Amino acid sequence: EVQLVESGGDLVQPGGSLRLSCAASGFSLNTYWTHWVRQAPGKGLEWVARMNSEGASISHADAVKGRFTISRDNAKNTFFLQMGSLRADDTAVYYCAISRFSTSSLDSWGQGTLVSVSP
Amino acid sequence: DIQMTQSPSSLSASLGDRVTITCRASEDISTYLHWYQQRPGKAPKLLIFAASNLQSGVPSRFSGSGSGTDFTLTISSLQPEDFATYYCQQSYSALYTFGPGTKLEIK
């Protein structure tokens, strides 16, 4: 069974840092593109970042560019979101997701992890 | 960035109704358009990929169409489990974007 499990969400002060992890099981991550998507309380979905299967092509949404970095460790079947200079408007549930190059849709999603940024 | 809009933003319908949700892109995205369903407190679920392709395991009452800038998601006969929020998403540009969502409620 394909499964993605996020971890690392926490309460953090403004200006702080956090690293989210997404562990994949039931399949090999190394042929998939990896993504992070967030959802602020009561709001819609916001795509955050993606990385291709080789790790050579990376994109980040303008709202997080320069503050967040997506990365992956195919050997550990895990990918990450390093978050820095956190602000109150980064408060959200963060979902990890995967896509295939052939379709580019977000085929499978984790259950989400909550990041709260507050003094 | 490519902007996505959806209409309506909310919709009330009855069991058995046929409903259509529209998504529009700010520029031509070919068929790089996908639809997701999100129930309260749950992760989104892929329904339709590449504008018109039904994801494995998704009931056939869901269908998608469109290309270029205008797309539709149709549910042919509403079931209780279909009352949820629906999002479109483009993957044409390197910076993916979602529509604002359409909340489907029971009338």
Strand-pair partners of B37: B45, B86
Chain A residue whose CA is closest to B42: A111
Q: Which of residues 21-80 of A touch B (CB under 8 A)?
A: 35, 37, 44-47, 50, 57, 59, 61-62
**Cα–Cα separations (whole angstroms), residue B92 to A8, A43, B49:** 30, 23, 12
Residue B29, pLDDT score? 98
Strand-pair partners of A39: A45, A93
Q: Which of residues 59-98 of B touch A (CB under 8 A)?
A: 85, 87, 89, 91, 94-98
Q: B11 pLDDT band (50/70/90 cuts)? A: very high
From B74, B77, B83, select the one nearest B103 (Cα to Cα).
B83
Residue A79, pLDDT score? 96
Residue B97 has pLDDT above 90, yes or no: yes
Chain B residues close to A56, C-beta within 8 Å: none
Residue B103, chain A, CB below 8 Å: the answer is no
Q: What is the pLDDT of residues A75-102, one digit of tens each?
A: 999 999 999 999 999 999 999 999 998 8
> Residue B73 and residue B62: Cα distance in Å, rounded?
7
Q: Maximum Cα–Cα distance for chain B, whole Å?
A: 39
Q: What is the pLDDT of residues B50-88, one digit of tens each?
A: 999 999 999 999 999 999 999 999 999 999 999 999 999
Asked if residues A13 and A118 have their Cβ atoms less than 8 Å apart, the reply is yes
Chains A, B: CB pairs < 8 Å: 60
Residue B99 has pLDDT above 90, yes or no: yes
Q: What is the pLDDT of residues A7-19, one digit of tens each?
A: 999 999 999 999 9
Mean pLDDT, residues A97-119 taken together: 95
> Residue B46 and residue B75: Cα distance in Å, rounded?
14
Residue A34 has pLDDT above 90, yes or no: yes
For B42, the token pair is 């749950």
CB contact under 8 A, A95 and B44: yes
- B51 φ/ψ angles, rounded to the nearest 5 degrees: 75, -40
Helix (H) or strand (E) holding A113: strand A113-117
Q: B105 pLDDT band (50/70/90 cuts)? A: very high
Backbone Cα Rg of chain B:
13
